[in-house]
Structure 1
């Protein structure tokens, strides 16, 4: 058997699946694309997560686009983190040219320009559906992480969340959090000391300054109501999965906000979605571009939680795909959970680069057809080394692959097209509204005002001949709240506060 025949047989046997799959490209041998050697990904294993890696300009984002659009065409919705603003064009059909036609013929697929059902979303000032979450839903761990607090300061945040949980004070936005912190060291100092011990005003003041810094980054736009519901990500239109593109181009210099939002999203999906087991196709796929922003400043505790979620979330029918420059950007424990690996070219300009390439090569199966280290530096744009899992969970052969072209537009939408896309969204009318219901800020403000009025009445009565032993009856916060009809309207947010899950609970365990 010739080397070419052996290669064809190698690919055919390694990438022959019984169920539905995604055609990613065709194999390359000795720098030449080989027809009829299609590299496929079983749809059934797309909940086993994945990695798309490579140097800048090698085509990572287009590979992400190809996989997401092929999922959509098979009815699987996805969520895309778009930090560079490259993905909005998925809403419009692509266009044929000679290069795409030649590439499609080599791969053995028909190129059909297709626009996809796209939902533009944002957590900042970008145009789109405004995604928000309450401070309480983030929980003390994530809030402490985004504020970069030390151990002592984290303890104060944990105290604040515990106090608000037990006294039914909704923490909705950063204004609520600041109000409770002020209450802890001023009007509520005596009550807090009796229940939890003394709290240092200096520590609280430091936390307050960090909250103000966060507000200056625009975080007040994200924290609040109406909280996003993850089930809104799981939608189809005319049989195509909706592609939810979260536009993050204006927060590239705010990695803490981005990473904390991502961790909150993963946690919410894990807590909300039911157990599904192994489905014929995933329920939802998440693509995290610039994934190093999630991991670069994460504490050990948070890394452990991410690892736990990546291990467990696949049973919810959810796949998570990280897009970054090198596999070393992803912690080893997380990297070991990733079934699909698409490795674009790396550049060896320095000794450090060459060391990184050797380490990268060790993450891939050994191949008799390629020297992995050499191939990593010689691939062109739109080429990648690919290995996936077959239907039995066994890694497929490593293949140097010529990747297919996206069927949707490879350029961005114009401002007018973005406006039109947003105006057609049903979710805009659901989420792009301002809600300022009664929360910790209002309740504590009311309590402080009531205390001041009682103090004034007491002072007035002492001058009118009342004895010093006769005082107005003091009320507890719980008694004040029980008289307030607004508390009965708290509903969903309070429930989530008291059942904070794996990423946000004080104990770190989901309450049943």
Structure 2
């Protein structure tokens, strides 16, 4: 054990500058050797930095993270200004360099610099020398996205149909009865071929099913009460007020775009720009739930692969969990638990481990903990709780965590055998890309130059449930309107009725027979008269 009196408060992590003038480094003590041995992996790994011990940086003792263990999830935590974002950037760079695609939720807007080479300066050169890093300014292949076109980036949208009733019920905070009723609405729309593309489509179907002409449609399977329909509609209105309207629509984003590699073999870094919606956590949460669920049911089981298919980083993760309902937390917990077997790793980046629910925190095998502050009784309580979550340590962790400098962290990861590594105080490497946002003009050019821009930039409001119901209401009486809405799955357009008479195609039949409708049906993976197959999360399956 180190000499605490000679080290003093924070002495275990005193900067290397303070250790200058001591002469050549002494032989490593046994405890430091044991820590270093815990990170001597034989397979591919990410280089995080060099071991800190008793006030000195030991560059020959490299702290690493095995590449196959990235799908075991992780946490990057620490107080404001301690270097969390740079750590995220460092890990993303090395994943990309090893051919692993990366997704970054960029709440503060300072991760766009990943696309540009970094700038050398005295601090960068000093850090590289301290940890024996061969630093070279490097930009990485990146795509920039924005939720529903709110902000700068390629718009990311989803249809209501593919989002599904379970996830929508969770973000609307519906109770069990209301969730079941919303499920009936989706069941009816799926079976009748009424495409729920955006929020107005869902409102239209709910209103139809509680109208005089539509009530009979669900009578045999439970019905939809006027009171429950009112709750759903009011919840949709409040949800839309959070800025979600632009997220639901077409063209729907294919989450498979996040799994691409660049022509040179490096993984594409997908950056979701969120500064414009950081005050709309419900919108952010909605997207996360859909994205993870969509990836989960589309990806095959891979078990323990040589490297992950995608690593997913959520910066400012407290926005995800603040004021979250229990149903929401249950969904996230289940998704994080199961998606590992699909080769997807999820890293939460936040100020304190207590920002992440215990059920989720227990599944995070890799930890990079930056400095914590202990200025208040609550801070001290949080510090003690954080220390208890680490394995046995050769350090005094309470002292260590309050004395770490910027760009230093306490690290423990899963070894190649899946066992926790020894706790290691680490001086982290410097990112090789630009540490800060790129200029707005450069970001705009990168977005418009992307091959995905033409595919997703322009919103499309095609004829769907709302337009079809409005057309039927304007053209027919109540009985005929109900017949027009439900006729699509009973007979083909123009099929003779009893008596041999040929009836003219209804409004619904004309729409169903159009080429535009058939194209839309293919895009959401369903056909008229056939109910959509939904995953365990209630999202609609789509063929890639």
1:376 paired residue number: 401
Partners of 1:190 and 1:32 in 2: CA distance: 75
Residue 204 (1) aligns with residue 240 (2): no
Tell me by how many angstroms 1:181 deviates: 1.6
Specify the alignment match of 1:442 in structure 2.
Answer: 467
- More displaced, 429-438 or 481-490? 481-490
Given candidates 146, 150, 154, the residue that maps to 1:122 is 146
Q: How does 1:348-387 map to 2 (within 5 A)?
A: 348-368=374-394, 370-387=395-412
Summarize the alignment of residues 413-432 of structure 1 with structure 2, pairs less than 5 Å apart: 413-432=438-457
Contact 2:204 2:466 in 1 (8 A): yes
Q: Specify which of 486, 491, 495 is matched with residue 522 of structure 2.
A: 491
Aligned with residue 60 of structure 1, among 84, 107, 111: 84
Q: CA RMSD in A?
A: 2.5
1:122-161 maps to which residues of 2 (within 5 A)?
A: 122-123=146-147, 124-161=149-186
Q: Is the 8 A contact 2:102 2:312 kept in 1?
A: yes
Q: Deviations over 1:268-318 (max 9, x none)?
A: 111111122222211111001121222333333333332222222122111
SS of equivalent to 2:51: strand
**Matches of 2:109 and 2:79, distance apart in 1:** 18
Q: What is the distance in 2 between the residues matched to 1:475 and 1:372?
A: 66
**2:532 is equivalent to residue 504 of structure 1:** no
Residues in 2 aligned to 1:352 and 1:475: alpha-carbon distance in whole angstroms = 60
Which residue number corresponds to residue 51 of structure 1?
75
Between the aligned partners of 1:495 and 1:285, the Cα distance in structure 2 is: 30
Separation in structure 2 between the aligned mates of residue 61 and residue 278 of structure 1, nearest angstrom: 28
2:140–2:433 CA contact under 8 A, matched in 1: yes
**Corresponding residue to 1:328 among 343, 346, 354:** 354
Note closer, same or farther for the CA distance 1:229–1:3 as it changes in structure 2 (3 Å cut): same
Find out whether 1:175 has 2:182 as its counterpart.
no
Distance 1:61 1:455, change over 3 A: closer
The counterpart of 2:99, out of the listed 48, 58, 75, is: 75
User: Structure 2 stretches of 5 or more lacking a match?
Assistant: 2-25, 491-505
Indicate conservation of the 8 Å contact 1:358/1:373, yes or no: yes
Distance 1:251 1:475, change over 3 A: closer
Q: Secondary structure at the match of 1:231?
A: helix
1:227-246 maps to which residues of 2 (within 5 A)? 227-237=252-262, 238-246=264-272
CA separation of 1:213 and 1:304: change in aligned 2, threshold 3 A? closer
Kept after mapping to 1: 8 A contact 2:371/2:405: yes
Instruction: Provide the residue aligned with 1:469 in structure 2.
Output: none
CA distance in 1, matches of 2:222, 2:65: 57
For 2:501, the equivalent position in structure 1 comes to none
Query: For 1:232-311, what aligned pairs fall within 5 Å after superposition?
Result: 232-237=257-262, 238-311=264-337
The alpha-carbon distance between structure 1 residues 198 and 266, as it changes in their structure 2 partners (threshold 3 A), is closer
2:132 is equivalent to residue 105 of structure 1: no
Q: 1:187 touches 1:448 (CA, 8 Å); kept in 2?
A: no
What is aligned with 2:489?
478
Q: Distance in 2 between matches of 1:146 and 1:190?
A: 26
Q: Please give the secondary structure, in 2, of the residue aligned with 1:186.
A: coil
Deviations 1:45-65 (A, max 9, x none): 111111001111111111101
Indicate which of 18, 21, 29 corresponds to 2:42: 18
Show the counterpart of 2:115: 91
Q: Provide the rounded CA distance (Å) in 1 between the counterparts of 2:466 and 2:94.
A: 47
Runs of at least 5 residues in structure 1 that lack an aligned partner in the other structure: 457-471
Mapped contact 1:283–1:318 kept (Cα < 8 A)? yes
Tell me the distance in 1 between the aligned counterparts of 2:209 and 2:384.
54
Aligned residue for 1:149, secondary structure, equals coil
Equivalent of residue 166 in structure 1, options 191, 195, 206: 191
Partner SS, residue 52 of structure 1: strand
Is 2:150–2:277's contact at 8 Å kept on the other side of the alignment?
no
Give the secondary-structure state (helix, strand or coil) at the position aligned to 1:36. Answer: strand
Alpha carbons of structure 1 residues 202 and 91: separation in structure 2 relative to 1, 3 Å: same
Give TM-score, length-normalised by structure 1: 0.90
Moved more, 497-506 or 78-87: 497-506
Cα distance in structure 1, aligned partners of 2:185 and 2:323: 24
CA distance in 1, matches of 2:364, 2:153: 31
DSSP 3-state at the match of 1:261 = helix
Q: Distance in 1 between matches of 2:250 and 2:193?
A: 17
Q: Secondary structure at the match of 2:270?
A: strand
Preserved CA contact (<8 Å) 1:11 1:38: no
